[in-house]
Amino acid sequence: MQAKIEAPDYLKGRDVVENLKIVTKSRDLLALADVIGVPRSTISTWNTRNMTPFEVLIRIHLETGVSMKWLALGIGEAFPESEKSKVANATSIDSFRLRSGVLEESNSFVLDKSICEELETENLILVKEDSQRLLIDKESIHATSGKYLIDMDGSFSINELQRLPGKKLAISFNGSTINVEENDIKVVGRVAMVMGKE
């Protein structure tokens, strides 16, 4: 018969929030709120009421591979020896959120190096738009045909582009298409991979 399993002494409040900030590389509560998708006021409540956000801990553990014992109990190392090889095979890339034509810098994103090898580039950035995460290849700035991150008069967007004769480009906007001179826009990079948000 299984012996009784007692509840351990979980980290609570500021202690657990501090661990979450460390593992997500968040500099403050606002940055942490953005990464884990909860209001800053909720995190403040965890602090003031000395609470443990179990669902968030499980989610962060599944996403990053961080040790649950370290995250929830403060025991051992964040990434035990068995996980260090995974970290060695990862690279950090710049991450941005695209809102109303503005690219807002976000926390860096950890990417498996095998993806860079598959895409045959290391010059990647991550752009979050609505429910999608898009890997942008910044080496592909000569638009031919496909989906690109473009800068038009300082306003950023993701659009389908098609090269036309005479140094022109056709740009798709919500079902309609306009033709522009190649120099009228700046191509930041090509969408190399689209990842749905979990």
* Tens digits of residue pLDDT in 53-67: 999 999 999 888 899
| pLDDT value of position 86 | 54
pTM value > 0.85: no
Domains, the chain: 13-86 (1.10.260.40), 89-196 (2.10.109.10)
| Residues in Cβ contact with 16 at an 8 Å cutoff, skipping those fewer than 6 apart | 10, 46, 52, 53, 57, 71, 72
Give the mean pLDDT of 192-197.
Answer: 77
Q: Answer whether residue 198 shows pLDDT above 70.
A: no
Give the mean pLDDT of 160-170.
Answer: 94
Residue 16's nearest CA partner among 70, 94, 93 is 70
pLDDT (tens digit per residue) in 116-139? 888 888 899 999 988 788 999 999
Give the mean pLDDT of 40-53.
Answer: 95
- Tokens representing 30 are 């606002």
Mean pLDDT of the chain: 89
Distance CA 55, CA 70 (A): 16
Distance CA 181, CA 114 (A): 37
Q: Answer whether residue 85 shows pLDDT above 60.
A: no
* Confidence band of 30 (pLDDT split at 50, 70, 90): very high
